[in-house]
Each structure stands twice: as C-alpha cells, then as structure tokens.
Amino acid sequence: MDKLSLHNPLFATYVVAATLLILKAVSMSWLTVVRMMQVKGGFRAPEDLKKTALNPEPHPAQIAPNEAVDRIRRIQLNDLENIPFFLFAGLLFVLSDPPLRLTQWLLYGYVVSRFLHFAAYLTARTHETRATLWTVGSVILIFITCWTLFAAIRG
C-alpha cells in the first residue's frame, strides 16, 4: 500500500496526531494575542507604543514584561523545544513500519501529554506536575526516535 496514503492507518494516525499538535502550537500565538489585548500590554517592539486605532493611549509600561502574557510565551517556547522534533520523529517512525496499535498508543499518548502539560502550565500547577507531564512526552519522543534509528541502521 502507499505509505503516504490516508487509507494507510499508520500514516493516518500520524496525520491526526500531527495536525492536532500543529493546531495546539498555533493556538499559543492566538492566546498571546488575546492576553495582550486583555492587559493592553506585554508588547515587545518599541514601535508598539505608536498611537494607533487599536492602541489609542500608548504608555511605556506596555512594553514591560507582563506575567499573563509571558506565561503563554513560556508555554509556546516549550512547544517549540518539543513539538517540531516529535513531528519529524513521528513521521520517520511510521515510515519504519511499526505495529499499528503501538503507534496509536505512542502518538496519541504524546498528544494527550502535551495537552495536559498545557493545562498544568496555564493553571500554574507545581513544577513537579508540569515536569512529570513533560517527561511522559519526552520519553515517548526519545523512544520512537531510537526505534527509528535502530531500524535505519539495520537497513
């Protein structure tokens, strides 16, 4: 069967997991926008203090760090450190023809771990809670990467 066909359940599993993670990652940008509008601040560029229709009363404090906005930026940076590498590892993993059930557990498990990590970070749970959820995802990522590397070396 065509490996890259959506009729191939391995590839379809990857595409569902990948698109959900992309939507998750992109939502962080929009959430940053929402929070910047709520607090009317947390901007970063000097020109964001120009008077415009959307910012009729600019004030220097608007480019000071703002925790409500910075929290989303930290979550987004964590996404950047993890999700792109998972998207590559997952694609190469499904191309190495792994068992379907295992693939579903690992890929959907990663998606769930990232959504729970987001919930824990957004609501400021303890470092332990956040770290545990991050660790689940990171171990899955390392596992599928090593699996794929060994498959490539065996040829």
Which spans of this chain sit near a copy of itself (rule: CB under 8 A)? 2-4, 6-7, 12, 15-16, 18-20, 22-23, 25-26, 28-30, 33, 43-48, 50, 52-55, 67, 71, 74, 76, 80-85, 87-89, 92, 95-96, 121, 124-128, 130-131, 134, 138, 141-142, 145-146, 148-149, 151-155
Chain mean position to CA 5: 25
Beta carbons within 10 angstroms of residue 1's beta carbon: 9
Task: Identify the burial level of 58 via C-beta atoms within 10 angstroms of its C-beta, where 0-12 means exposed, 13-18 middle and 19 or more buried.
Answer: middle
- What single string gives the DSSP state of each residue in 122-146? HTT--HHHHHHHHHHHHHHHHHHHH
| Cβ closest to a copy of itself, residue 53 vs residue 99 | 53
CB of 144 to a copy of itself, least distance (A): 9
CB of 64 to a copy of itself, least distance (A): 14
